[in-house]
């Protein structure tokens, strides 16, 4: 077996791995990235963020043309769905993104080793090449960026036909009449929104007593109200105990989470979206002595190094929110650390967006977290019903809520539901990064008429002086 030598070998080319490889190459390191998929970009570009947003965008257009345009005085004829073309839009979007990473690898002279990597001890990676045969790699440093995989439930065997994961839900060949989402988290609500807009009757079965459990309580409540208005049904505090797949669909047995009488729910398609688990299968971690934490994630120190010197880990494979931009930032940080710089990620300033309509977004602490930590805070809230641009857009559902430290006025958390709040959140992430006060936001000129004025008004409301409510 021939052996090539590198400063850095990254295993996995998702947003964590490919960004790490490119940043390290920019800093002068000789870098290889091992990826077993036929295309680069990982879960995010192939079966995650990008295809789901392409379908969310496309289904939003269909929904708007079907029900939203008349109110603007725009008459359209009979709106028809061409699902094949919609899937074509998704596939084209994915292709241009994954091809883009291949181009960036070439531009930055990162070697893509196509195959499955296994760590054979510190400084050694063995790759079972997709084309056949094995390639040995010697590396001064190894970064594990192998991401995550779907969590399945014993009662729901995923076949990607009738009982699907997010991957199957991104590629259904026809619109189901009905769909049950097991799990009322991010994937469930985003993919459920897509198929509901296209005509499916969607029911959410959630184990806990609220949807989107990690979000601020007020956001969860408001989103459930809005999604209910859109036609989504919710069965909270409920678990699935059995599933029978038949020729027509799936018959689910449901029970109250706390136990009690069972009921049956029949549906065409079941989407299992109960979370994701770190994926390190076949990596040789046990044999290499790499320690895992109590939740089966690769354990790392403050510099992303595992207990084995020279082996690092980032992204979904380690602790923290399973988000593409978190993985990217860790990829950048570890590359800079390996190049002798001071890479760092501020975990208090990582935004999170759910791309439903309207969107929800957040950064920093929730009210529940601040209460649990005993932090005294003030709340400023402003509804989109009082924002001129939102009225002009016919998109007045939602609010901006700013939480600021009672003594110092420093912004601690921001939570929003509303149009384009996935874009508005960037200003607030910057505010937290810069240690801004709500007064800083309130005194910053915001263009009129824009949705951003709702952010300024919420900041003014922290001090009890909003102008427009």
Catalytic residue numbers, as ranges: 448
Q: Check residue 247 and report its DSSP letter.
A: S
Q: Among residues 24 and 271, whose Cβ is nearest to ligand NAD? A: 271
* Cβ contact 314:303 at 8 Å: no
Interface of this chain with ligand FAD, residues 2 to 31, rule: CB under 6 A? 11-17
**Residue 35 interacting with ligand FAD (CB under 6 A):** yes
* Closest approach of ligand NAD to the CB of residue 186, in Å: 4
Q: Which two tokens stand for residue 52?
A: 């789901």
Residue 379: beta bridge partners? Answer: 403
Interface of this chain with ligand FAD, residues 73 to 132, rule: CB under 6 A? 116-117
Q: Which two tokens stand for residue 289?
A: 């002595």
What are the E-state strand segments in 120-249? 124-129, 134-144, 148-150, 163-164, 178-182, 201-205, 233-235, 238-245
Where would I find the H helices in 149-246? 166-169, 186-197, 217-229
Q: Which does 61 bind (CB under 5 to 8 A by kind): ligand NAD, ligand FAD, none?
A: none
Among the listed residues 192, 223, 200, 201, the one whose alpha carbon sits nearest the alpha carbon of residue 210: 223
**Residue 37 interacting with ligand FAD (CB under 6 A):** yes
Classify 34 as helix, strand or coil.
Answer: strand
Q: How far apart are CA 219 and CA 357, in angstroms?
A: 13
Determine which residue in the list 81, 153, 158, 236 makes contact with ligand NAD, applying CB under 6 A. 153
Determine which residue in the list 59, 135, 166, 193 makes contact with ligand FAD, applying CB under 6 A. 166
**Residue 190 interacting with ligand NAD (CB under 6 A):** yes
**Residue 324 interacting with ligand FAD (CB under 6 A):** yes
Draw the binding track, 346-385, toward ligand NAD (x: CB under 6 A; -: no contact).
Answer: ------xxxx------------------------------
**Residue 205 interacting with ligand NAD (CB under 6 A):** yes
* Cβ contact 81:138 at 8 Å: no
* Closest approach of ligand NAD to the CB of residue 135, in Å: 32
Q: Which does 43 bind (CB under 5 to 8 A by kind): ligand FAD, ligand NAD, none?
A: ligand FAD
Determine which residue in the list 194, 274, 431, 461 makes contact with ligand NAD, applying CB under 6 A. 274
Q: Which does 207 bind (CB under 5 to 8 A by kind): ligand FAD, ligand NAD, none?
A: ligand NAD
Among the listed residues 121, 104, 169, 186, the one whose alpha carbon sits nearest the alpha carbon of residue 355: 186
Among the listed residues 2, 3, 12, 1, the one whose alpha carbon sits nearest the alpha carbon of residue 318: 12
Those residues whose C-beta lies under 8 Å from the C-beta of residue 260, and which sit 6 or more positions away, are: none
* Cβ contact 34:117 at 8 Å: yes
- Residue labelled with tokens 């930055």: 108
**Residue 323 interacting with ligand NAD (CB under 6 A):** yes
Q: Among residues 29 and 428, whose Cβ is nearest to ligand NAD? A: 428
Determine which residue in the list 36, 90, 276, 456 makes contact with ligand NAD, applying CB under 6 A. 276
Determine which residue in the list 206, 329, 367, 453 makes contact with ligand NAD, applying CB under 6 A. 206
Q: Among residues 129 and 379, whose Cβ is nearest to ligand FAD? A: 129
Interface size with ligand FAD, residues (CB under 6 A) = 36
* Closest approach of ligand FAD to the CB of residue 283, in Å: 5
Q: Which does 147 bind (CB under 5 to 8 A by kind): ligand FAD, ligand NAD, none?
A: ligand FAD
Q: Which two tokens stand for residue 341?
A: 């710089």
Q: Among residues 183 and 419, whose Cβ is nearest to ligand FAD? A: 183
Q: How far apart are CA 308 and CA 296, in angstroms?
A: 17
Interface size with ligand NAD, residues (CB under 6 A) = 27
Distance, first Cα to last Cα, the chain: 72
| Most distant CA pair in the chain, distance | 72
Number of H helices, E strands in the chain: 14, 21
* Positions in the binding site for ligand FAD (CB under 6 A): 11-17, 34-37, 42-44, 48-49, 52, 116-117, 145-148, 166, 187, 279, 282-283, 315-317, 322-325, 327
* Positions in the binding site for ligand NAD (CB under 6 A): 153, 182-188, 190, 205-208, 213, 239-240, 273-276, 321-323, 352-355
């Amino acid at each position: 077996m021939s052996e090539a030598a590198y400063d850095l070998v990254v295993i996995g080319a998702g947003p964590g791995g490919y960004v790490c490889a490119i940043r390290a190459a920019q800093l002068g390191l000789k870098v290889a990235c091992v990826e077993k998929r036929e295309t680069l970009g990982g879960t995010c570009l192939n079966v995650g963020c990008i295809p789901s947003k392409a379908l969310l965008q496309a289904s939003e257009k269909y929904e708007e043309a079907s029900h939203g345009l008349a109110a603007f005085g725009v008459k359209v004829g009979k709106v028809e769905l061409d699902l094949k073309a919609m899937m074509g839009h998704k596939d084209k979007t994915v292709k241009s993104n994954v091809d883009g990473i291949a181009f960036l690898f070439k531009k930055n002279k990162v070697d893509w080793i196509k195959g499955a990597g296994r760590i054979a001890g510190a400084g050694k990676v063995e790759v079972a090449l997709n084309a056949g045969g094995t390639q040995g790699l010697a590396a001064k440093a190894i970064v594990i960026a192998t991401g995550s995989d779907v969590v399945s439930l014993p009662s729901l065997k995923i076949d990607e036909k009738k009982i699907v994961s997010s991957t199957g839900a991104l590629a259904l060949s026809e619109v189901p009449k009905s769909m049950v989402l097991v799990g009322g988290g991010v994937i469930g609500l985003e993919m459920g929104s897509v198929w509901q807009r296209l005509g499916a009757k969607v029911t959410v079965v959630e184990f806990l007593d609220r949807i989107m459990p990690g979000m601020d309580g007020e956001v969860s409540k408001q989103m459930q109200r809005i999604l209910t208005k859109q036609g989504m049904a919710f069965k909270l505090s409920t678990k699935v105990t059995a599933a029978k797949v038949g020729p027509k669909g799936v018959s689910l047995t449901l029970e109250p989470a706390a136990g009690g009488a069972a009921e049956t729910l029949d549906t065409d398609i079941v989407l299992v979206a109960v979370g994701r688990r770190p994926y390190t299968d076949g990596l040789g971690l046990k044999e290499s002595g790499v320690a895992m934490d109590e939740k089966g994630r690769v354990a790392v120190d403050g510099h992303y190094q595992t207990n084995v010197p020279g082996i690092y880990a980032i992204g979904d494979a380690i602790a923290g929110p399973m988000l593409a931009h978190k993985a990217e930032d860790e990829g950048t940080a570890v590359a800079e650390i390996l190049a002798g710089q001071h890479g760092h990620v501020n975990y208090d300033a990582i935004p999170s967006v759910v791309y439903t309509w309207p969107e929800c977004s957040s950064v920093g602490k929730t009210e529940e977290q601040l209460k649990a930590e005993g932090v005294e805070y003030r709340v400023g809230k402003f509804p989109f019903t009082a924002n001129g641009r939102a009225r002009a857009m016919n998109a007045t559902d939602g609010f901006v809520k700013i939480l600021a430290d009672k003594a110092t006025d420093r912004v601690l958390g921001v939570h929003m539901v509303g149009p384009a709040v996935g874009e508005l959140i960037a200003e607030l992430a910057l505010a937290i990064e810069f240690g801004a006060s709500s007064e800083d936001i309130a005194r910053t000129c915001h263009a009129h008429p824009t949705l951003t004025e709702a952010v300024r008004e919420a900041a003014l409301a922290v001090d009890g002086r909003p102008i427009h409510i």
